[in-house]
Amino acid sequence: MSGAVPPAGTPPPPPPPPPRFADAAREALADPSVRRGLREATSAARAGAAGAVADSADWEELRAAGAAVRDRTLLDLDRYLEELEGAVVEAGGTVHWAVSAADAVRVVAGLVRAQGESGAAVADAPVLREIGLAGGLAAAGIAVLDAGAAAAVAVTGVDFMVAETGALVRSGGDAAPAPSAALVAVAGLEQAVPAWRDLEVFLQLLPRASGAGRTAARTVVWSGPVAGDGPAACHLVLVDNGRTRALADPVGRTALRCIGCEACLNVCPVYERTGPAAYGPGGAGPIGAVRVPLQRGVRGAHAASLPFASTLCGACADVCPVKIDLPGLLVHLRGEVVEARRDRPVPAPELAAMRAAAWTLAEPRRYEAALRRGARWGRLLARGGRIGRLPGRLGKWSDARDLPAPPAQSFRAWWGRR
Amino acid sequence: MEAVRVALFVACYNDALFPGTGRAVVRLLERLGHRVDFPAAQTCCGQMHWTTGYRREAAALARAFTGVFDGAGAVVTPSASCAATVRASYAGIARAAGDPALAEAAGRLAVYELTEFLVDVLGVTDVGARFPHRVAYQPTCHALRGLGVGDRPLRLLASVRDLELVDLPAAEECCGFGGTFAVKNADVSVALAADKVRHVRATSADVLCALDNSCLAHIGGALSRLHAGVRVAHLAEILAGPEEG
Ligand code: SF4
């Protein structure tokens, strides 16, 4: 018995890696409540966003302006973050840097304990979900209370940080957290904007894209502790969690333009059917499928499966308020996954098949011979003009879909005889 | 209008599996008085390799494609996704391969999806076709968002005699094909197809048409498995009319 109990002070074993998207999605699809709940939520947000966008005659200019501010900021991010830290400290706040998601959770848990508290009010925000804050705090023995609960410590995500003044801005969301002792704001490094005037664009883009309306019902700005009003302490936890890795990828870095509106999730046909859980921890929908592998690397099976969790239909890119080319980034990351696998001693069956296909297609004569072979095989498999069952991995196709029997004559054979 | 010389890119999967679509394009363009060439060295644009992450293989196929069609004038294809690949992805393929010459070669090509060529270059919407059926049109993602073909296909269909165009609910939602997605994430792909099939069956259409036989094979494969009594056809086959003999 004693052998099964780890000695006190030993960290718990790491959780098993999350499943690959296709496997998690299969489970989610089997649960009808996932789809029902999501369809209503996503279609309401989608309709809200479409309405607000239709009412904005200058939507395309706003998007272009938002993308440009983001790109400019990301190029000089270290400078803006330094400026931001100085401004926050100047205003009486404290800045904490967290390298990983686990670091961020540890920092927040430490701040709660430092107030002598065993619970905190926790709001919902993309960055808090990304680092798994609620679960992490609970595992550390800290009670996670509702965002609106009266508590000494409140943890919230912020949407924007103004480098020039140190102001932290939250647009929309539920009731503003009103802790009596300490506010803990968590943000990703990329959420900095250079100056107050840059917010004008984002405070229009964010509510409209998220389906909240033309402007947010509530925008909260924190500018450090104020004597006699509000919490005595203001903490800002800046989360890297792979963002510097993403910044180092010249193609991938555009994903950090993201303002967390979730418009891309709400229009994604895959997300609508599988729900957030299928994507695993770290982020869901098209932007999650981009950011998780970009920030963590593509060696792990879970992260490597995410870029393939999309039909590349392009609906996300059409709605993204900062014009992130999400399908393009998914393809870029698929390329990273394949490149990372090329150096395996034994090539994966897919790599071998793709190489063989490319070799065949590279030479018209080989291609013609393959067409003739394919037609012969197809005729062997066909029944009544349809193929109902394909061999090997292609059986995944024929489990639910017929394939027309291949024709007696390819197009080029017909052309040659004409 | 003066006869135009057209280089047909039939697309490899049409060549092998849907040759009737290629024959329809030839029949249609020749009936309109134009001349069709079929450069025999063509194979594949590289789309599947590129979207599955096989950059090097895609670059090799893109180089071959630009070589075959260099100087060809108007290249016409009955595959919206291939047209979108050449026009929108070749620059990225060239960048990933560090091959600026490929980007330049791609920039010199004039590749049109069939309905773009008919409406924009030839300036026709009435191609003299007759098709006595109820037809629904599926705007495939590459046609709708990749190329932005807009209402060109609908304008062409509206001019077909005896054709009754019926509205497809939720038409702009992806059918779930997505190339290798259909196999890699077969369960989600089939779930999307099931919804598309439900919407198709809610119409009174006998025929579902589109500009991509790949998506049509996916939707049509599900319709066929369900014996839904709706068949799929590439738009070119409707516009070209029946084959003789
Ligand atoms: S990627 Fe674009 S659409 Fe998606 S959450 Fe970020 S900003 Fe919004």
Which tens digits make up the pLDDT trace of A226-271? 777 778 899 999 999 999 999 999 999 999 999 999 999 999 999 9
Which residue's alpha carbon is nearest to atom 2 within ligand 1?
A320
B229 touches chain A (CB under 8 A): no
- Say whether residue B204 is in contact with chain A using an 8 A CB cutoff: no
Task: Write the secondary structure of A287-329 as one string of H (helix), E (strand) and C (coil).
Answer: HHHHHHHHHHCCCCHHHHHHHHCCCCCCHHHHHCCCCCCHHHH
Would you state the structure tokens that stand for residue B195, as one six-digit string?
């919804």
Minimal Cβ distance to A354: which of B10, B49, B193: B49
Return d(Cα A180, Cα A117) in angstroms, integer.
Answer: 12
Mutate to test the pocket of ligand 1, among A59, A266, A320, A329 (most ligand atoms within 8 A of CB): A320
Measure B157 CA to nearest chain A CA, in Å: 24
- Confirm or reject contact between A24 and chain B (CB < 8 A): no
A9 confidence band (pLDDT: 50, 70, 90): low
**Residue A394 backbone dihedrals phi, psi, to 5 degrees:** -70, -15
Distance (angstroms) between ligand 1 centre and the Cα of A200 equals 18
Taking alpha carbons only, the member of B150, B148, B153, B176 closest to residue B163 is B153
Each residue's pLDDT tens digit, B82-134: 999 999 999 999 999 999 999 999 999 999 999 999 999 999 999 999 999 99
Ligand 1 in contact with A125 (CB < 6 A)?
no
Min Cα separation B53/chain A (Å): 4
Please indicate whether residue A317, judged by its CB atom, sits closer than 6 Å to ligand 1: no
CA distance A356 to A359: 5
Mean pLDDT for all residues in chain A: 90
Strand pairing report for A182-188 and A233-239: parallel
Q: Quick check: A335 contacting B, CB < 8 Å?
A: yes
Average pLDDT over residues A139-151: 92
Alpha-carbon Rg of chain A, whole angstroms? 25
Residue found under tokens 């994604």? A268
- Judged by phi (left if over 0) then psi (alpha if -120 to 50, else beta), residue A300 lies in beta
The answer, yes or no, to whether any atom of ligand 1 lies below 6 A from the CB of A209, is yes
The answer to whether the CB atoms of B49 and A328 lie below 8 A apart is no
Tell me which of A287, A295, A316 to substitute to probe ligand 1's pocket, judged by most ligand atoms within 8 Å of the beta carbon.
A287
Which of B19, B145, B185 is the closest to A308 by Cβ? B185
Position in ligand 1 atom list of the atom nearest CA A286: 4
Q: Verify whether the Cβ–Cβ distance A29 to B179 is below 8 Å.
A: no
Atom 3, ligand 1: residue with shortest CA distance: A320
Residue A218, pLDDT above cutoff 90: no
Average pLDDT over residues B170-195: 94
Long-range contacts of A384-391 (CB under 8 A, 24+ apart): A386/B224, A388/B225
Q: Is the pLDDT of residue A7 over 60?
A: no
Mean pLDDT, range A411-416, rounded to an integer: 95
Q: Say yes or no: ipTM exceeds 0.85.
A: yes
Mean pLDDT of A52-66: 94
The pTM score is 0.94
First to last CA, chain A: 82
pLDDT of A195 reads 97
Is A343 an interface residue toward B (CB < 8 Å)?
no
Phi and psi (nearest 5°) for B228? -75, -10
Ligand 1: residue of A261, A267, A329 to mutate (most ligand atoms within 8 A of CB) is: A261
Query: How many whole angstroms separate alpha carbon B172 and alpha carbon A171?
Result: 31
Residues of B in contact with A22 (CB under 8 A): 184-188
Question: Ligand 1: does its nearest atom lie under 6 Å from the Cβ of A130?
Answer: no
The pLDDT of residue A1: 39
Is residue A394 over pLDDT 80?
Answer: no
Q: What percent of chain A has pLDDT over 70?
A: 96
Query: Tokens 């046909």 map to which residue?
Result: A269
Kindly state whether A344 is in contact with chain B, defined as any CB-CB distance less than 8 angstroms.
no
Confidence of residue A3 (pLDDT cuts 50, 70, 90): very low
Q: What pLDDT, on the 0 to 100 scale, is given for residue A112? A: 96
- CA of A354: which chain B residue's CA is closest? B49
Question: How many of the other CB atoms lie within 10 Å of CB of A176?
Answer: 15
Question: How far is C-alpha A144 from the geometric centre of its chain's CA atoms?
Answer: 24
Question: For residue range B5-18, what is the model confidence (pLDDT) as tens digits?
Answer: 999 999 999 999 99
Which two structure tokens, joined as six digits, stand for B119?
Answer: 């409406």
Write the single-letter amino acid at A415: W
Q: Residue B245 pLDDT > 60, yes or no?
A: no
Contact A410 B16 (CB under 8 A): yes
Q: How far is B76 from chain A (nearest CA, A)?
A: 15
Least confident of A307-311, A339-343, B59-63: A339-343
- Taking the C-alpha atoms of residue A35 and residue B29, their distance in angstroms, rounded to an integer, is 46
8 A C-beta contact, residue A14 and residue A277: no
Which single residue is written with the structure tokens 């947000």?
Answer: A45
Residues of B in contact with A364 (CB under 8 A): 40-43
**Measured from the CB, is residue A69 less than 6 Å from ligand 1?**
no
In A, minimum Cα distance to B224 occurs at A402
Q: How far is the CA of A41 from the centre of ligand 1 (A)?
A: 17
> Could you give phi then psi for residue B107, rounded to 5 degrees?
-65, -25
